[in-house]
Amino acid sequence: MTRKTSTSDFLKQLVGRPVVVKLNSGLDYRGVLSCLDGYMNIALEQTEEYVNGQLKNKYGDAFIRGNNVLYISTVKRRV
């Protein structure tokens, strides 16, 4: 028997943790998730922007509009 994880529970778990946010355009953002909402709008801290795996920019804080988000992933380790 498998237990169902609701999407909102998963989103709540992510707050305060380091995450990777991938956009539909292919850009990756790594940072600490400070909060998010049901549209997948995201506020990140210590944000790093990666293009094709290469660090391109750093932002102290960043707001990402949810419609651009492909997925939000947990990170086990920083590569």
3-class DSSP assignment, residue 14: helix
Among 18, 30, 65, 78, indicate the residue that binds other proteins (CB under 8 A). Answer: 65
| Count of residues in contact with other proteins, rule CB under 8 A | 52
Judged on CB neighbours under 10 Å (0-12, 13-18, 19+), 33 is buried
The answer to whether 49 and 56 have CB atoms below 8 angstroms apart is: yes
Out of 18, 38, 50, 51, point to the residue binding other proteins (CB under 8 A): 38
- Rounded least distance, CB 33 to other proteins, Å: 10
51 binds other proteins (CB under 8 A): no
